[in-house]
Structure 1
Amino acid sequence: MELEIIKCHGSGNDFLIIDEITNNYTFSEIQRAEIAKALCSRETELGADGILYLQKSDHADGVMRVFNTDGSEASMCGNGLRCAARYICGLLGKKEAIIETMKADLHVSEQENIFPDVTTFQVEISPVSFSLKDLPLILDQETLLNEKVSELSEELKFTAVAVPNPHLIAMVEEKHLQGDFQGELSSKLNGPNKWFPDGVNVSFVKSISKGNIYVRTFERGVGFTNACGTAMSASTLVTCLLGLNNLEEKVNVYNNGGMVQCIAHKYEDGYKIDLIGNATFMYRAGVTIDMDDYSFTTGPKADFGEQVSYGKLQSEVKQFLDTNMKG
């Protein structure tokens, strides 16, 4: 089978776009999962955190489905949604659109560049729920808001939130970002365990200063990633609820892949978050894949030439973190 893919990334969280809107691709659900496992493997020349399958919608401008490297489907992906937004808006010649995801139809729009020559999109992150049954998290309480769970850690306090995929968030100091604890805890909660039957994204968040935070995430189905859009969004909301940042104000969110900006909003019926950041296209390539064993070969790559500008953003982020993360 002949496929055309675009390699792209949001904050270094990288994806392969497969356009089912304009191409006559037909996949079974098993094939979608197996293609993701094959093409996204870091042992191949493609390698990615997941595949964005873009499809026609019967009521929105398009559908985004996200398959992780392990073949599981994610209910949402904020960094991926920015890339999907750019592709679909470009396809339709629009500056804004509505994209259907597993749990909600979300508004997306092109924005002023977050950094010179870095194409930028804003995407809506919702619905937001603090109800443990929506993650799900099995605890004898309805919510978990900045509280200790002794079986997870005697020191750290956790907040659980679904946006709509599940997140467990801890505010930490620099010392907690060193060592293996986050990885060990995350692996524990994404294997057989009594708390999170479906696994969970685990984020450690350090408040740098008012309006500036750092987020590192172990992503369910992926592992440690350069950035997770929904995690950065959820983490921003948590810092606002804890009084470290303010609702309705932009927060700079730094990560290992770069930075984004988030704005948490409160409404009568709950919260939503705006996630603003890059949607960088890296290259376009043809892929020939054997649908029996999912082996594949890749044709020549046509580079978009956008990574140089994003590299400059990354250099500024690294300098900022080197200067401000200690203490």
Structure 2
Amino acid sequence: MSQLLKVHGSENQFFILDQTTLENQLDDTELKQLAIKLCNPSNNILDGADGLLVVNDSKFNDCLGQMRVINADGSEAKMCGNGLRTVSRYLSEKFNQDSFKVETFETNLEVKKSDNFYNNVPAFSVEISPISFAKKDLPFAYKDKLEMINEDIPEFIDGQKFTAIAVPNPHLISFVDEVDEDDLGELGQALNAPNTYFPEGVNVSFCEILDKNKLFVQTYERGVGFTNACGTGMSATSLAFAMLNEDYFDSDDDITVYNPGGMVKTNIQLAERKEDSSIHLIGNATFTHTLNVNESDLHSANLNNITINETGEETYYHEFVNSISEA
């Protein structure tokens, strides 16, 4: 019998599969099929999820494990900040270590256990890297621009400015007085359908500046759609905020980032060369359910014989969210 975990970071929902516990690991086709079926809410497995996080042994001696991110549509993402926090907690508890590295698609990232966000709401801090503004790394095409930083692009939305940052997932960010979900959804869909601007798609985030070092971010995520939160989206947005809004940014303090699923913190340290800036994302890593399933059923994506048990952690997370709204 094998075990999956249902987890979330800021209600960005995932399943975790530790392939190192299996007698025979799933191949890429099987992982894609499993992710698509597990994450589809119509299959009635805990209302689905935004993706499947796959834990493998790392090829690097200084990493406790490797994380792969399979989106709900079966595509693979380079990184997932909210997901990395939950995988970090999983590896931390598995190996009894509080500070270590995790191998991801492009680089090995430093992670560490943080103080709990609330009673029984474990939190982890994860490095978000590498950073690039170059058109080839997103990639994007708009006129003859090599970077897109605080640009008026009327072809997207007239009167809004846009910044594009890869961390390494590609993100398009716009600061607005108030998030218009219709505009965000329409632009997100357009730029993740076949288009000339972002041929590989892009995560689109709108951000309201609430106060000094205080933001609200909502994201339309590539391969997923609207999510409760996008970790790399909040990270990229925080970097853009720090670069473009010096009157509202204090580098000595963390940035508080609210989202539809709760709240995270980010720490931004700007560098003279903007690509050398550092981003750390701090937030909850909540395990809501354990799922027991036969290994053969994982290979065939058979979801008919799963035993599910609650952990009770979601109750504490809701108390945390209520404390935010009352603050």
TM-score normalised by structure 1 residue count:
0.93
Match in the other structure for 1:14: 13
Give CA-to-partner distance per residue, 1:116-144, whole Å, 9 cap, x none.
22101000000011112110011211111
Match in the other structure for 2:215: 213
Deviates more, 1:288-297 or 1:266-275: 288-297
Alignment pair present for 1:286 and 2:292 = yes
Deviates more, 1:188-197 or 1:112-121: 112-121
Task: Quote the Cα distance in structure 2 between the aligned partners of 1:158 and 1:318.
Answer: 29
Match in the other structure for 2:137: 134
Alignment pair present for 1:173 and 2:177 = yes
Identity of aligned residues (%): 41
Alignment pair present for 1:28 and 2:22 = no
User: CA separation of 1:50/1:181 partners in 2, compared to 1, >3 Å: closer, same or farther?
Assistant: same
Alignment of 1:207-286 (within 5 A): 207-242=209-244, 243=246, 244-267=248-271, 270-286=276-292
Deviates more, 1:225-234 or 1:238-247: 238-247
Task: Quote the Cα distance in structure 2 between the aligned partners of 1:272 and 1:137.
Answer: 23
Alignment of 1:1-327 (within 5 A): 3-46=2-45, 47-59=48-60, 60-139=63-142, 140-174=144-178, 177-242=179-244, 243=246, 244-267=248-271, 270-288=276-294, 290=297, 294-319=301-326
Give CA-to-partner distance per residue, 1:209-265, whole Å, 9 cap, x none.
001100000000000000000001111111110123233530000000000000012
Q: Which amino acid aligns with 1:155?
A: G
Task: Quote the Cα distance in structure 2 between the aligned partners of 1:74 and 1:248.
Answer: 32
Deviation at 1:179, TM superposition (A): 4.9
Q: Which amino acid aligns with 1:286?
A: N
User: CA separation of 1:28/1:124 partners in 2, compared to 1, >3 Å: closer, same or farther?
Assistant: same
Task: Quote the Cα distance in structure 1 between the aligned partners of 2:309 and 2:300.
Answer: 27
Deviation at 1:298, TM superposition (A): 4.3
Give CA-to-partner distance per residue, 1:63-90, whole Å, 9 cap, x none.
0000000000000000000000000111
User: CA separation of 1:196/1:173 partners in 2, compared to 1, >3 Å: closer, same or farther?
Assistant: same
Q: Which amino acid aligns with 1:49?
A: D
Match in the other structure for 1:323: none
Task: Quote the Cα distance in structure 2 between the aligned partners of 1:39 and 1:146.
Answer: 38
Give the number of aligned pairs: 317
